[in-house]
């Protein structure tokens, strides 16, 4: 029997993680924009990158030592892993291509993961810490890159992100077929509570996920679209 309490969805620990994921990057963005310090911004970006990469490495070490590592979670074939790679690259070398992938994948995908964590136990169990820091770090980094570094998606970002997401789905589907695993939840719904519980059975929920993915991409672009329209009207 574990010495840790079972994870409680939207319990105190979960709510603290959600709050910090938003508050920390917002406060850092205000600090950077107030001081206009490129050195400080660079240091924050590097810190975020080290945190994401470091906790990812720690997960592999801990999972291997505890016998948790299987072909179903050892490969970087979940969308959050791809979001992590895009985010770390953007933090270390800011560019539009990886930023827009990180932005949409983090907000449309990783946010859902953080809202419904796949972890059995609550704070301070190692899986809770790793999951929270990894997923929260991705989202916080994207928020900082957007609010603090002034990066943003554009209209032409949408078809590029949709195209790369479809490429990910095809590759994940191939890996699922080859090894009998469930990356991208393409073969079955998650075993833990999630938004998938409200969807129809396999394979029909996949069409719903695709539709929601496109819709969420449009929603997360909407603030920039409205800002551009307002700016144009003022001119």
Q: What is the mean pLDDT of the chain?
A: 94
Buried b (16+ CB within 10 A) or exposed e, 168-184: bbeebbebbeeeebbbb
Residue 219 placed within a domain: yes
Angle between helix 96-105 and 204-234 (nearest 10): 120
pLDDT at 18: 98
Residue 188 placed within a domain: yes
Residue 161 placed within a domain: yes
What string of H, E and C letters represents the secondary structure of 174-216?
A: HHHHHHCCCHHHCCCCCCCCCHHHHCCCCCHHHHHHHHHHHHH
Mean pLDDT of 147-151: 96
- How many structural domains is the chain composed of? 1
pLDDT at 191: 86
Residue 183 placed within a domain: yes
pLDDT tens-place string over residues 75-134: 999 999 999 999 999 999 999 999 999 999 999 999 999 999 989 999 999 999 999 999
Residue 2 placed within a domain: no
Does the reported pTM lie above 0.75? yes
Residue 32 placed within a domain: yes
Domain of residue 64 covers 12-234
| pLDDT(235) > 80 | no
Q: How confident is the model at residue 1 (pLDDT cuts 50, 70, 90)?
A: low
pLDDT tens-place string over residues 20-71: 999 999 999 999 999 878 899 999 999 999 999 999 999 999 999 999 999 9
Residue 6 placed within a domain: no
């Amino acid at each position: 029997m574990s010495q840790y309490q079972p994870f409680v969805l939207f319990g105190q620990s979960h709510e603290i993680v959600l709050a910090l994921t938003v508050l920390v990057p917002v406060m850092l963005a205000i600090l950077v924009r107030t001081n206009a310090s490129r050195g400080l911004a660079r240091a924050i970006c590097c810190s975020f990158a080290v945190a994401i990469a470091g906790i990812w490495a720690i997960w592999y070490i801990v999972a291997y030592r505890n016998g948790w590592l299987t072909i179903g979670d050892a490969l970087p074939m979940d969308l959050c892993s791809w979001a992590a790679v895009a985010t770390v690259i953007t933090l270390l070398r800011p560019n539009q291509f990886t930023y827009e992938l990180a932005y949409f994948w983090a907000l449309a995908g990783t946010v859902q993961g953080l809202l419904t964590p796949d972890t059995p136990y609550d704070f301070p169990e190692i899986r809770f810490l790793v999951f929270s820091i990894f997923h929260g770090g991705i989202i916080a980094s994207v928020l900082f890159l957007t609010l603090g570094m002034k990066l943003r998606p554009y209209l032409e970002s949408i078809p590029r992100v949709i195209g790369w997401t479809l490429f990910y789905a095809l590759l994940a589907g191939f890996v699922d077929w080859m090894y009998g695993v469930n990356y991208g939840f393409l073969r079955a719904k998650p075993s833990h509570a999630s938004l998938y519980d409200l969807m129809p059975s396999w394979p029909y929920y996949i069409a719903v996920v695709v539709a929601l993915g496109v819709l969420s991409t449009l929603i997360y672009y909407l603030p920039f679209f409205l800002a551009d329209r307002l700016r144009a009207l003022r001119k």
